[in-house]
Structure 1
Amino acid sequence: MSAAHASPALSERPASRLIGGVFEFWAHTRPRHPAVLYEGSSLSYGELHERALVIARSLLALGIRRGDRVGALLSNQPEWVSMAVGAASIGAILVPLNTWYKRTELAWTARHCGLATLVCMDQFLKQDFAQMLVEAFPGLAQGVPGELKLADFPKLRSVTVLGRAVPGTFSWEQFLALGETISRETLTAAAASVQPDDLAFILYTSGSTSEPKGVTLSHAGLTGNGWDIGARRRIGPDDRVWVGTPLFYALGSANAWPATFMHGATLVIQGAFEPGLTIDVVEQTQATVYYGTGNMTMAIVGHPDYRQARIGSLKKGNAGMTAEYKRLTLVDMHMTEACGAYGLTETYGHATVHDTDTPLEIKLHTHGRALPGMEMRIVHPESGEPLQAGETGLVLVGGFVTPGYYLNPTENARALRADGLFDTGDLGSIDVGGQFHFHSRVKEIIKTGGINVSPVEVENLLTEHPAILDAHVVPLPDSRRGQIIIAFVVADDAVSVPALQAFVRERAASFKVPHHILFRTAEQLPRLASGKVAKARLVEQAQLELAPLKR
């Protein structure tokens, strides 16, 4: 069977509800089948399983036990996958870390979740992680590998670096060798202790507060919803699933990755998204399933090397959220079996997905039916009363939803209802045909280039500048990025826009830097009767002032 004509989804799922158990199943039933394709190399399910067991032993040798947090600051590469499986196999919790993090963000996340160990690249793109480690973790360079005693990070006992040597850390080779002291019996006992409801991941996502939220995800949720997503998308074992988004994001780790491995398919990854490279990778691997965001789709179609025939093997996958992006995927790229979907990190990636044979016009203007393990309920935002088909209200999701935000009782009390439903904070409706329609986000999150950004976090970053007295951040629609970040600031001294942008860029990931900064006096800021700044009017002002730039 050719890659371009992949088989339908399996009729029976693997028996295990544990990540480690699923990979063990495929290692025994299809050991030579490719699990990962990366930069011209292939890693089979048998090889991946063996690598994961080596990593599991090494983690045990470091004292890592069930429930301990294991950080992975890695790009899309085979080591990310083997780390995830190895940690899950002994009940450790993987914390995938954002490769755009700056020093303060890395330190905050490591401290918040209480990392026990960290595996990190020495560098990636323009990020010098080797230097960042020394700055983020004071005392690391003077520490003993495996016996760290850092005052600000009392639970962090070891750091491993892939690449150049960093004082106080293990090399990747040294880390892998540690497991030689662990017996098969010890490994088997650790694996036997893992339960389906145990946590497997903590994914940090921007929220409506200034601090990121750690979304916890269980083995049962990842394997259960992963199966359902793959089945709805008709992913089968002979499919090759190209993933363009970073694996530390939910679309990668909580969606594409489990949908792929639950069906024994092949994951196709590249270190970082670049549209020209993507065209080459898809053509060379004959990938059949597309997992990209709308802005990636636009970049691929707009690339000078793009010809539909070069990516013609792609038939199904993720169509995007907006009608514009879905038309690009379904019509321009000829991925007729691609599906629209709706979901959040907290719902294990997707809660609704189209059937592959849903008519085009329905796909363009809706976001799919609830997955088998999901309940979608629309209620009145204020009264909580259930609404009828076609009526717009607050979206509640039940079934495969997060057990909670890590160490965040305030957000848990807000989002996790007593009836087991999750309050998404989104507005939507369900039509008489059962298709979900996403309308808008109640939350103020800005989604730029497919990445969530908290306005409050950007506002706090701006007001750290000595010249800034006040800052208010709003989104503005953008045809390329979806939304862009607009900041209104009140300054008591002369400061330039480039200087403010550089100030933010030095302290946070580049996607949090405002695209435009507009100056106001305190009196010029529009306010509501309550005294709060009227952000809707700021959006209107930004549209008027920036309109000439779009001409």
Structure 2
Amino acid sequence: SYVQGTSDIPLLSKTMGQCLDETAERFPSRDALVFCRDGLRKTFAQFKEEVDQAAAGLLALGLKKGDRLGMWGPNRYEWVLMQFATAQAGIILVSVNPAYQALELEFVIRKVGCKALVFPTQFKTQKYYEILKQSCPELEKSTPGGIKSKRLPDLSIVITVDSKLPGTFHMDEVMQAGDSSHMKELRAVQETLSCNEPINIQFTSGTTGAPKGATLSHRNIVNNANLIGLRLGITEQDYRVGLPAPLYHCLASVGGCMVMALHGSSCIFSSPSFEGKAALEAVSQERCSFLHGTPTMFIDMLSQPDFDSYDLSSLRGGVIAGSPVPPEIMKMIITKMHMPELLV
């Protein structure tokens, strides 16, 4: 992005935190995030306050600018909270596929040197704590924040988002760990942040070998989100974006959450992992203007037996991405789902 041809849209040189701060100033009482399954809503003002609190908490635990924190789990509020809290403190978020088993998890943690890992105790058949113990048997007998693992030498901090387990911090403890001195430290760190610094490592699927970590900077993510928002036509108005896609993938984390932090749209998460029925319900109940998903997600939604009972009249467009889209599927989405402004 340093060498560019003619462009009417100048590239932004902002950090993720600066974007969120500015948007929270503009739209403090607007919904930033809605998690339908958990009945959880956060306005921009609430979200911004909790992001700063969480960032100060991460510093209080001993994490520093440049450290890597792995976020491993389905779509829930703590995922987005960690996405922005790490960015505020200059900590690099590592997006970990929630379906990973022990060997894949170990590969990713070792590859990028994760110092911290955040996850729920369990989701569906995935018992995250038990999976981690396969690579880190020392976890159970460790003091929180003091893990010394033979196979995962960089890992010292494990945070669970629901129940507190041996060797872990609970997310509530992280939220309460930061005091005024850590807030002061956070402000000092923010003064040193550059938009060219790495802030997120996303892993490729690894279909032809081991997954590869792609390192993204604030500048990458902010400009990607800026251009997505402009292309979708998101303006000052209150736009609501349905997100059935997973947060560990950039379609939801950048195309959803970073667009929210920059353009002031609202992210509507229908369920922790994809469910066609829940996605349609969320669009109908929350009056979504846009819907982002993969071709298989849209095919699933279109084939719901009670598809015709959902009011999708609020929709105008969205993003379909991740794999090639058959033209007939595109036509069905545009006509049956009221999405004339669909982007591929």
Q: Report the TM-score when normalising by structure 1.
A: 0.57
Q: Which has the higher contact order (CA 8 A, sep 6+)?
A: 2
Q: How does 1:210-229 map to 2 (within 5 A)?
A: 210-229=209-228
Structure 2 distance, partners of 1:14, 1:177, is 37
1:95 offset after TM fit, Å? 0.6
Between structures 1 and 2, the one with greater strand share: 1
Instruction: Provide closer, same or farther for how the CA distance between residues 13 and 160 of structure 1 changes in structure 2, counting only shifts above 3 A.
Output: farther
What residue number does 1:73 align with? 72
| Paired AA for residue 219 in structure 2 | A
Q: Report the TM-score when normalising by structure 2.
A: 0.91
| Paired AA for residue 235 in structure 1 | I
Structure 2 distance, partners of 1:103, 1:117, is 16
What residue number does 1:268 align with? 268
- The answer as to 2:329 corresponding to 1:332 is no
Structure 2 distance, partners of 1:254, 1:241, is 12
| Paired AA for residue 294 in structure 1 | P
Instruction: Provide closer, same or farther for how the CA distance between residues 276 and 224 of structure 1 changes in structure 2, counting only shifts above 3 A.
Output: same
Structure 2 distance, partners of 1:252, 1:151, is 34
| Paired AA for residue 311 in structure 2 | R
Structure 2 distance, partners of 1:239, 1:78, is 19
Instruction: Provide closer, same or farther for how the CA distance between residues 118 and 319 of structure 1 changes in structure 2, counting only shifts above 3 A.
Output: closer
1:124 offset after TM fit, Å? 1.0
Structure 2 distance, partners of 1:70, 1:183, is 18
1:32 to 23, 29, 32: 29
| Paired AA for residue 248 in structure 2 | F
What residue number does 1:315 align with? 316
What residue number does 2:188 align with? 189
Instruction: Provide closer, same or farther for how the CA distance between residues 264 and 73 of structure 1 changes in structure 2, counting only shifts above 3 A.
Output: same
Structure 2 distance, partners of 1:122, 1:248, is 17
Contact 2:205/2:211 (8 A) holds in 1: yes
What residue number does 1:243 align with? 243
| Paired AA for residue 54 in structure 1 | Q
Structure 2 distance, partners of 1:13, 1:263, is 16
Structure 2 distance, partners of 1:166, 1:214, is 29
**Structure 2 unaligned runs (5+)?**
1-8
Per-residue CA distance 1:487-546 (angstroms, 9 max, x = gap): xxxxxxxxxxxxxxxxxxxxxxxxxxxxxxxxxxxxxxxxxxxxxxxxxxxxxxxxxxxx
Instruction: Provide closer, same or farther for how the CA distance between residues 210 and 230 of structure 1 changes in structure 2, counting only shifts above 3 A.
Output: same
Q: How does 1:424-503 map to 2 (within 5 A)?
A: none
| Paired AA for residue 291 in structure 1 | H
Per-residue CA distance 1:408-436 (angstroms, 9 max, x = gap): xxxxxxxxxxxxxxxxxxxxxxxxxxxxx
| Paired AA for residue 274 in structure 1 | E
RMSD: 2.0
1:111 offset after TM fit, Å? 1.1
What residue number does 2:176 align with? 177
What residue number does 1:302 align with? 303
| Paired AA for residue 327 in structure 1 | K
Q: How does 1:471-550 map to 2 (within 5 A)?
A: none
| Paired AA for residue 41 in structure 1 | L
- The answer as to 2:16 corresponding to 1:19 is yes
| Paired AA for residue 335 in structure 1 | M
Structure 2 distance, partners of 1:14, 1:287, is 28
Structure 2 distance, partners of 1:46, 1:165, is 28
Contact 1:26/1:46 (8 A) holds in 2: no
Q: Figure out how many residues of one structure are paired with residues of the other and give that number.
A: 330
Between structures 1 and 2, the one with greater helix share: 2
Per-residue CA distance 1:80-117 (angstroms, 9 max, x = gap): 11111100011111011111111111111111110011
Instruction: Provide closer, same or farther for how the CA distance between residues 151 and 116 of structure 1 changes in structure 2, counting only shifts above 3 A.
Output: same
Contact 2:242/2:267 (8 A) holds in 1: yes
- The answer as to 2:131 corresponding to 1:147 is no
1:130 offset after TM fit, Å? 2.2
Instruction: Provide closer, same or farther for how the CA distance between residues 82 and 13 of structure 1 changes in structure 2, counting only shifts above 3 A.
Output: farther
Contact 1:161/1:171 (8 A) holds in 2: yes
Percent identity at matched positions?
29
1:156 offset after TM fit, Å? 1.1
SS in 2 for 1:165: coil
Structure 2 distance, partners of 1:81, 1:178, is 19
Per-residue CA distance 1:446-472 (angstroms, 9 max, x = gap): xxxxxxxxxxxxxxxxxxxxxxxxxxx
1:331 offset after TM fit, Å? 2.2
Structure 1 distance, partners of 2:87, 2:10, is 19
Structure 1 distance, partners of 2:169, 2:181, is 18
Moved more, 169-178 or 49-58: 169-178
| Paired AA for residue 153 in structure 1 | L
SS in 2 for 1:324: helix
1:14 offset after TM fit, Å? 11
Q: How does 1:129-148 map to 2 (within 5 A)?
A: 129-148=128-147
| Paired AA for residue 23 in structure 1 | L
**Structure 1 unaligned runs (5+)?**
1-11, 341-551
SS in 2 for 1:307: helix
